[in-house]
Amino acid sequence: HSHKHTRTHHVPEQVVSYLEPLTGLSKSSLDKQGIGLEEAMLKVREKLPKNAVLVGQNIGKDVEWLQLKEGEDFAGMIDLAVLIRVWNPKYGSLTYFGLDHAASCWLGKANDGAAHNAETDAIKSMQIFNLYCRAQNDAAELQRLHEALLSRPVAPSFAKLNPEYEGCCMGNKKSCTCGAPFFS
């Protein structure tokens, strides 16, 4: 089951760029709706059921950033990146796909360069998860879904299109401008 929760925007102490085309956030939207991190975390912990299973693309990074503890703040996680990875015979390895590509291929919901929105990403995540759950024991359907991911070109990410945006390096390994280390 998916549950709707209160939308919360944290206002950081210092902002270099709002990355509005990527995040959909601006100074005025955060001035109107933003709250401090401590208050935001209190709201998240208050609303998050202890038996919740969090589903999302690379959800571990969100949990890490939010400083949530599995088994304490919530019951578990399901990483969509792992569920929708596909063995790619062309490269002899697994290929991982982003949420937008999976939503486009499996749900017919292309992002078309629109700014990300956490609420719609959460809805797409649950729709992809539910579709995967229905297909996981049907080898032919799972194969069809995998082929859809492999056969369609992946739209370039914001980071590929904008290696640096408003003075912020987007962290693309091939076009990094800040020299920060990469960890795999």
**Per-residue confidence (pLDDT) for residue 102, from 0 to 100:** 96
**Per-residue confidence (pLDDT) for residue 133, from 0 to 100:** 96
| 93 bridge partner residues | 88
Q: Which tens digits make up the pLDDT trace of 153-162?
A: 998 888 788 8
Phi, psi of 52 (to 5 degrees): -70, 145
Mean pLDDT by 10 residues, the chain (184 residues): 52 74 83 86 93 95 93 97 95 95 92 76 94 96 97 87 83 78 63
Both tokens of 79, joined, read 């990483």
Q: At what angle do helices 139-151 and 118-135 cross, to 10 degrees?
A: 140
| 18-23-27 Cα angle (round to 5) | 35
**Per-residue confidence (pLDDT) for residue 170, from 0 to 100:** 81
Q: What is the 3-class SS of 115-161, one letter each residue?
A: CCCHHHHHHHHHHHHHHHHHHCCCHHHHHHHHHHHHHCCCCCCHHHH
**Per-residue confidence (pLDDT) for residue 12, from 0 to 100:** 61
